[in-house]
């Protein structure tokens, strides 16, 4: 039979708190935005990510030579940069051009 202190301990113990993840929002939003504008997110084996522009826009890449992001927040910043660039780019084919309000819809 359990002692009274063990029984009370199980009843009144504090719940185990999960550690807050500072990248949760960025980890959810970055792939959503990336698929809407054709950006590719590649996970690097040693840690970090490579963020590649849409294939149609590789010649005018603002991050030319530096596609590495160390965490999801950096990935989100890069993907949003590509989305803004795609929205401003009037020469992009209509099928690859995201809706003008796509960024505002994803920024909930």
What gap in Å lies between CA 87 and CA 59, rounded to an integer? 17
Structure tokens at 1: 């039979």
What would the pLDDT profile of 45-96 be if each residue is shown by its tens digit? Answer: 999 999 998 887 777 778 877 899 999 999 999 999 888 887 776 444 555 5
What pTM does this model have? 0.64
Cβ atoms of residues 42 and 31 within 8 Å: no
* pLDDT score at 19: 79
Exposed/middle/buried for residue 13 (C-beta within 10 Å: 0-12, 13-18, 19+): exposed
């Amino acid at each position: 039979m359990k002692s009274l202190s063990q029984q009370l301990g199980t009843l009144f113990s504090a719940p185990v708190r999960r550690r807050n993840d500072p990248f949760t929002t960025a980890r959810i939003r970055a792939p959503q935005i990336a698929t809407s504008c054709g950006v590719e997110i590649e996970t690097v084996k040693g840690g970090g990510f490579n963020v590649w522009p849409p294939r149609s826009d590789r010649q005018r890449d603002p991050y030319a030579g530096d596609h590495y992001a160390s965490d999801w927040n950096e990935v989100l910043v890069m993907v949003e940069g590509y989305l803004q660039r795609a929205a401003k780019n009037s020469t992009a084919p209509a099928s690859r051009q995201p809706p003008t309000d796509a960024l505002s819809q994803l920024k909930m």
